[in-house]
Amino acid sequence: MADLLQSFLEFWVDVILLVPRLIFWVSLQLLEMVISVISDMLAIPPEALAASFPPDILYFLTMFQLHLGLPWVGTALLTRFIVRRMPLIG
């Protein structure tokens, strides 16, 4: 009788855990798809992107040092995102 009850409980635990497992699997598939799209977008060489800008825009981009500022802003935003996800801090 105890074995029957144990198997019955294991079955319902598997049924209940099916939803989180499906959510996890779907999120992994979505993440894989997003990463493949981003890697395809980054396949364009930076020289080709820089060559597509007119010289006036390139002058202002270098004068404002966007090549330094954009990574700093991206790092700051990523750090803010990570810190806000920490319990008791964010």
CA 10 to chain centre: 34
Q: Can you say whether the dihedral through the CA atoms of 62, 66, 67, 69 is positive or negative? A: positive
pLDDT tens string, the chain, 90 residues long: the values are 888 889 889 999 988 988 889 999 999 999 899 888 887 777 777 777 778 888 888 888 888 888 888 889 999 999 998 888 877 765
Residue 1, SS3?
A: coil
Hey, what amino acid is at 5?
Answer: L
Per the listing, tokens 């008791």 go with 88
pLDDT of residue 90: 55
